Amino acid sequence: MSALPAPADKYMARALELALRGEGRTAPNPPVGAVLVRDGLVVGEGFHPAAGEPHAEIFALRAAGELARGAELFVTLEPCCHQGRTGPCCEALIAAGVRRVCYGTVDPNPRVAGQGLARLQAAGVEVIPGPMVEACRRLIAPFAKLLLTGTPYLILKAAMTLDGQLATAGGESQWISCEASRMLGHQLRNRVDAILTGAGTVLADDPQLTVRLSDGRNPARVVLDSRLRTPLTARVFADVPGRRLLMTGDDVAGERLQPYVASGIEVIRIPRLGDHLDLSAAMHELGRRNLMCLLIEGGGALNGALLRAGLVDRLMLFIAPLLFGGGGGIPLFSGNGCRRLDEAIRLRDLQISRSGADLLVEGEVAACSPD
């Protein structure tokens, strides 16, 4: 196996940068970026913009033209080898005369899972694992989870004080985070398939859950409302671009749901577990609708229920240099937590950075212990 070319990090970083342009738009496919290099120069690049559109490799090949012959491909994900809505990328790379493929991570799809790499090698194309493996794996984590479990990848995002509060005892929460953090929040919304919130948050804050970016697009807005308390006049249900979904109990009378259906809202009825909705069943319903990556923007009750149910995959906490100094506010998580320290839910791949005046703490949930 050949050693990696010296600037491999630079080229894979560019492929990752390109892939991010497709985040939130490719479901049920993964976001992928590709860069073709010949004689030390980038001759073609591309990313997968949406399901049914050409893959990243095809855009890179089109941009390179004849310069693809003898070139090296840096791609965030193993090239596909099967016929879907588009043709297999492996065959296109072989036909174009690409001499080497440097890939970020293997495709978890059982229809590929190393077979793309094997096909390239069989045709005489050199195949080598590339750098930035963890970043490439993290990029496709929502795709992998939906593919393997049928449920979306959940990112819990919250703005909180140093003493763990989402709102004051009087219910005020705007704005705990600084302007820079709020802008990052809109950028994050622009990269997911849906935003998930609960009826309590809608009733307390009446959020829009839209993207306020000049080049952004609104993800789906999903409200979990077991007792159908959310009014049709709520801003989350405003008739602006983007899907609107309401998930409520399967025991809610059909006639109560008709006004929502008539307004173009997708109503999904979910079985109950005790007094609450079956959250696992709710996530499977969203997965069936190809909502691959969800951003949780809820209150302590919803946050706690999802975390204890083992459904949260990643946390992004914007921590402001504020203290409320006592009880009565809304905590990040409510409900019964761990009784013993060894039951604590831990984070891995922890990252801490500055976001204006705030700290951004993020990491993957390593293990969850349901109640």
- Residue in 23, 57, 78, 297 annotated catalytic: 57
Angstrom distance (rounded) from CA 225 to CA 276: 9
Please answer whether residues 179 and 310 qualify as being in contact, where contact means their C-beta atoms are separated by less than 8 angstroms. Answer: no
Pairwise CA distance, residues 105 & 219, whole Å: 27
Q: Is the dihedral of CA 113, 117, 119, 122 positive or negative?
A: negative
Tokens (6 digits) for 31 = 């976001």
91 is catalytic: no
Q: Among candidates 85, 6, 8, 70, which has minimal Cα distance to 38?
A: 70
CA distances for 167 relative to 222, 308, 331, angstroms: 22, 21, 8
Asked whether the beta carbons of 33 and 12 are under 8 A apart, the reply is no
CA dihedral 140, 142, 143, 145 (to 10 degrees): 120
Residues with catalytic function: 57
